[in-house]
Structure 1
Amino acid sequence: MGIEIERKFLVDHNAWQALNKPAGVQYKQGYILSDDTRTVRVRVTEHHGYITLKGPSGANRMSRAEYEYEIPIPEAEEILKGFTTNGTQKTRYRIPAGDFTWEVDVFSGDNEGLIVAEIELKSEQDVFEKPAWIAEEVTDDDRYANSSLALHPFKYWAKQND
């Protein structure tokens, strides 16, 4: 069984802007299924298409079953158009740090202004250093899940709290 173990953090915008970083990759993704126990997502980049299945999160919200398969880009685009009703757009940056690589998502569209960093671990006990641009941990906050952002975009959060 494929297991994803990751932690999620907000990113300090000023420190991120000052960081020398590689080119990012544009992602479009949509959800075929998304509920409390599983998600089925299709994702398209310039050079790849993927379909991903994710199971429920464990008690600590770090671990869950995950299966991801590359599919032809034309089919991924057809699935995005014909089978998904919501999704997100973002630019992903891969930043090596120590023994790990951070994946930093700079969201656009309805989630513009949100920057989230994820680190994938080999075990829940892995120790890692947080780069200076890492801010608050949000692993336990479901609002920051991409599937949640597709349904409840970041641009509406402030209005909901008013």
Structure 2
Amino acid sequence: MPTEIERKFLVQGDSWRSAVESESRMLQGYIATNQTATVRVRLAGDRAWLTIKGMMQGPSRSEYEYPIPPEDAVAMLDELAVSSPIDKVRYRVRHGAHVWDLDVFAGENAGLVMAEVELGSEDEAFEMPDWAGAEVTGDGRYYNVNLARHPYRHW
């Protein structure tokens, strides 16, 4: 079973910007959510994915991801999403031996900047960057599915 292991942190300052390797704007919406899984559609430029994620078990969860035609993603976001799509720019930033994903949110989640690092195991060591603030790995408010339903701007 494919497993995603990631740790999430709030971002402080903007010193990370000098290390950006790539960036892409993303729209993502949720088609279905329940206690055990979420189904997400993500559109980034001319690429799109359908992703099914299991429930978090600490920093781990099952994850299945499949490429889909971008025009299908647009239709799903318009017709099937259960709430407004998340709008964000994802920046890839190398720090130490890891590449971090930094998400700068727009729209109803403007003002929120989060970083996540994917790991090979739950106990894998990683170098903490100076721009990484409080860890929010287990805080459900920061899951994208919850940000779609309860945007950061309204907290």
Does TM, scored on the shorter chain, surpass 0.5? yes
Per-residue deviation at 1:47?
2.0
- Tell whether 2:80 aligns with 1:83: yes
The answer on whether the counterparts of 2:4 and 2:63 sit within 8 Å (CA) in structure 1 is: yes
- Matched with 1:5 is 5
Per-residue deviation at 1:79?
1.0
Q: Give structure 2 stretches of 5+ with no counterpart.
A: none
Per-residue deviation at 1:16?
4.3
CA RMSD between the two structures: 1.3
What is the alpha-carbon distance in structure 2 between the residues aligned to residue 51 and residue 3 of structure 1? 16
Runs of 4+ in 1 over 2 A off after TM superposition: 13-17, 19-23
Per-residue deviation at 1:20?
4.3
Comparing 77-86 with 40-49, which one deviates more in the overlay? 77-86
What is the alpha-carbon distance in structure 2 between the residues aligned to residue 118 and residue 3 of structure 1? 15
What is the alpha-carbon distance in structure 2 between the residues aligned to residue 14 and residue 65 of structure 1? 32
Q: Is the partner of 1:13 in helix, strand or coil?
A: coil
**TM-score when normalising by structure 2:** 0.94
Q: Give structure 1 stretches of 5+ with no counterpart.
A: 158-162
What is the alpha-carbon distance in structure 1 between the residues aligned to residue 80 and residue 125 of structure 2? 39
Comparing 92-101 with 115-124, which one deviates more in the overlay? 92-101
- Matched with 2:29 is 30
Q: Deviations over 1:113-136 (max 9, x none)?
A: 000000000000100011111110
- Matched with 1:73 is 70
Q: Is the partner of 2:82 in helix, strand or coil?
A: coil
Q: Is the partner of 1:81 in helix, strand or coil?
A: helix
**TM-score when normalising by structure 1:** 0.90
What is the alpha-carbon distance in structure 2 between the residues aligned to residue 156 and residue 122 of structure 1? 35
